[in-house]
């Protein structure tokens, strides 16, 4: 979320909760770019448009629960991402129940990247970097996206993922070492291999 002054956020939130569409739009625009990067990176092996559908479902739930939200800017961002993660889990479950057409199997090995419109000048937002993050084991990818793309601290990331802070630190360390190895050339670049969706898996 683009940094917002504490008083400004409180004013935007109060107005949005009172039904001010302009205020809600400001909150939406502040969070949406990072949210889409997070979702698009984690849904590269799902059907096209899944990230946008999940984002839409997320904001519908945000609208429904906004009047009950209490917290600051960081708390608001964490709340939105927590909702998005739950909706993403639902989308994966729906996808698991659908048959995979034969003619789309080759496409599953390709790594999707976010549109140029969503690119901002922060760490890990280049197309190749997001593509590399998308090939990490899923838990590692989520930690990197939440910590270094969405900008959450360790404690907030841990709350969103339902993990301990120490676990998040370990996962982040392993993920960054893995990415550094790829960038240094000591490990094959997964973005150009045929590892496909099998390279994104849960790890503990």
H and E: helices and strands count for the chain? 8, 0
Locate 91 and state its tokens: 């989308």
Contact 60, 66 (CB under 8 A): no
Q: What is the mean pLDDT of residues 12-34?
A: 94
Residue 119 clears pLDDT 50, i.e. is over it:
no
The predicted pLDDT at position 99 comes to 52
Between the alpha carbon of residue 5 and those of residues 10, 11, 73, 112, 178, the distances in Å are 9, 10, 9, 34, 36
DSSP strands (E only) in 3-122? none
Cα–Cα distance list, 166 to 2, 101, 122, 158, 173 (Å): 27, 41, 25, 9, 11
For residues 173 and 110, the answer to whether their CB atoms sit within 8 Å is: no
Tens-digit pLDDT profile for residues 15-24: 999 999 999 9
The phi, psi pair for 34, rounded to 5°, reads -65, -35
Which pLDDT tens digit goes with each residue over 168-203?
Answer: 999 999 998 888 887 776 555 444 443 333 333 343
Q: Domains in the chain and their CATH numbers? A: 6-199 (1.20.140.160)
pLDDT tens string 146-173: 998 898 999 999 999 999 999 999 999 9
Residues 6+ away with beta carbon under 8 Å from 123 = 148, 149
User: How many alpha carbons lie under 13 Å from residue 99 in its C-beta half-sphere?
Assistant: 3
Average pLDDT of the chain to the nearest whole number: 78
User: How much is the pLDDT for 183?
Assistant: 72
């Amino acid at each position: 979320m683009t940094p917002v002054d504490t008083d400004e956020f409180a004013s935007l939130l109060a107005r949005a909760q009172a039904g001010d569409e302009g205020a809600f739009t400001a909150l939406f625009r502040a969070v949406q770019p990072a949210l889409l990067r997070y979702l698009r990176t984690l849904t590269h092996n799902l059907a096209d448009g899944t990230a946008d559908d999940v984002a839409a479902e997320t904001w519908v739930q945000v609208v429904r629960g906004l009047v009950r939200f209490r917290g600051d800017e960081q708390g608001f961002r964490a709340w939105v991402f927590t909702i998005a993660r739950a909706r993403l889990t639902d989308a994966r479950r729906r996808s698991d129940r659908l048959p995979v057409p034969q003619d789309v199997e080759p496409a599953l090995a390709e790594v999707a990247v976010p549109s140029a419109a969503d690119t901002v000048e922060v760490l890990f937002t280049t197309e190749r970097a997001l593509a590399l993050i998308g090939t990490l084991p899923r838990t590692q990818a989520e930690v990197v996206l939440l910590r270094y793309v969405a900008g959450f601290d360790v404690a907030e990331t841990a709350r969103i993922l339902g993990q301990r802070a120490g676990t998040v630190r370990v996962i982040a360390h392993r993920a960054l070492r893995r990415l550094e190895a790829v960038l240094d050339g000591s490990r094959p670049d997964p973005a150009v291999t045929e590892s496909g969706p099998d390279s994104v898996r849960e790890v503990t």
